[in-house]
Amino acid sequence: MNVLVIGNGGREHAILLALKKSKRIEKLYCMKGNAGTAEIAENVDVDYMNVEAVKAYADAHPEIDYYVIAPDDPLAIGLVDELEAMGKRCFGPRKNAAVIEASKAFAKELMKKYKIPTAESETFDDYSKALEYVRAKGAPLVLKADGLALGKGVLICETMEQAEEGLKEIMLDKAFGAAGNKIVIEECMRGLKYTPGEEVSVLAFTDGKTIVPMITSCDHKRSNDGDKGLNTGGMGTFAPCPFWNEKLEKQVLKTIMIPTMKAMNAEGRTFKGCLYFGLMRTDKGMKVVEYNSRFGDPETQVVLPMLKTDLMDIFEAVTEEKLSEVKIEWEDGACVCVVLASGGYPVSYIKGKEITIGDVGSAQIVHAGTAIKDGKLVTAGGRVLGVVAKGKDIEEARLKAYSAAENIHWENMHYRKDIGVKYREG
């Protein structure tokens, strides 16, 4: 088979690395890809948000048997629907199911209607009504722009001042553009043992009939050590989550995952692909923080290396709605990914810095914002590389990842030193 993966980041490189292990794959392609994907796949220079351009490419390349649509934005505009209409086989939800991520108001409405545990919330499109609600509820509150905002449309407001300011930013100043036409105002959840909260990312394969959680992982969203600094796309991950166990998985399947799959079916929006559950362990049990309609980044970088089963077999089973027939197996042990970012990310940073990679031992370097310029490897984004290492436990994996990271350099490189340290006691 010849398989094309859509996307440019670390997640896509990690998916390609997993597919590369498949015995059934002859050639891999990546649209548009980066310097890392170019090493294992043919990079295709087509803008994947330009539906007509993607269709023209697909039409001209009948040798490509299967498309994996990894990022949220092409899913949200219905790229899967368009490719399927041409008779192409795809991994990823259709537009009417991708809305579970593309609209937070939709997701909250769904959870309310089907009694899926989540933070209490109300949705508004009118500023003065929203303000009235904020004043009635009082701080702390969480404000969420309805639409896609590169993971930045969420404001945790500890004081009334922050809440009123945030509301104005989102709804009047349109800090996140049209994503802020509607706003979700949520109760602020607290972790059971840790503040602000104990979060776990559970990615799951689903074909709409069966849902199978993958190995769990934990992201580090803030830019600096100790969960300080601004929210980013994710500065590192580890798998599995220390407080996860079989009993909790059973319970979450029963109260959250299966009800979500069934709710989407009942709404006529069957979800096929990777459904990502961002969950929080609270004093009132596990609750949904967010849904994503895709693999997480950088969660994928620590989840897929632990997969023993052929990923292509799973993808096809999802497409053919035969997921129940596949036995999905995982390695024991743990995996850690430390993201190396451009200094200044997520605000402003300089691209084009030359990268040198020394001895990284058994670590796998996953590329995100990289490019080749004049024959040299250079930075081309905020998150540049992920250093991924496996070990018998998180501690061993993190030591390997950090010793590899020490041998990678570019001017003004920044990374967190505490990936894999949180929730130590489970």
Between the two ends of the chain, the Cα-to-Cα distance in Å is: 42
Q: Is 101 in the site for ligand GLY (CB under 6 A)?
A: no
CA 198/CA 151 separation, integer angstroms: 18
Binding-site partner at residue 77 among ligand AMP, ligand GLY, none, CB < 5 to 8 Å by type: none
Give the nearer residue to ligand AMP in terms of CB position, either 154 or 215. Answer: 154
Q: How far apart are CA 193 and CA 196, in angstroms?
A: 9
Residue 237 near residue 256 (C-beta atoms within 8 A)? no
| Residue 356 beta carbon to ligand GLY: minimum distance, rounded to whole angstroms | 27
Choose among ligand AMP, ligand GLY, none what residue 234 binds, the Cβ cut-off being 5 to 8 Å by kind.
ligand GLY
SS3 state of residue 408: strand
CA dist., res. 174 & res. 348, Å (int): 20
Query: Please, which residue, 167 or 273, has the CB nearer to ligand GLY?
Result: 273
* Closest CB to ligand AMP among residues 201, 379: 201
Binding at 289: pick from ligand AMP, ligand GLY, none (beta carbon under 5-8 Å per type):
ligand AMP
Would you give the binding string for ligand GLY spanning residues 168-207, x where CB under 6 A is met?
----------------------------------------
Q: Which of residues 263-322 bind ligand GLY (CB under 6 A)?
A: 292, 296-297, 299
Cα R_g (the chain), whole angstroms: 21
Instruction: Give the contacts of 51 (CB within 8 A, at least 6 positions apart).
Output: 77, 78, 79, 82
Q: Give the contact letters, 229-248, x = binds to ligand GLY (CB under 6 A), - = no.
A: -----x--------------
Nearest to 42 by CA among 23, 22, 25, 55: 25
List of residues contacting ligand AMP (CB under 6 A): 119, 142, 144, 151, 154, 156, 186, 188-189, 197, 199, 221, 278, 289-290
Q: Does 9 bind ligand GLY (CB under 6 A)?
A: no
- Residue number with CB closer to ligand GLY (267 or 297): 297
Closest-approach residue to ligand GLY (CB): 296
Q: Give Cβ neighbours of residue 182 (< 8 Å, ≥ 6 apart).
A: 103, 105, 123, 124, 125, 145, 146, 147
Q: Is 152 in the site for ligand GLY (CB under 6 A)?
A: no
Give rounded-to-5 percent helix, strand, coil for the chain.
30, 30, 40
Binding site for ligand GLY (CB under 6 A): 151, 219, 234, 292, 296-297, 299
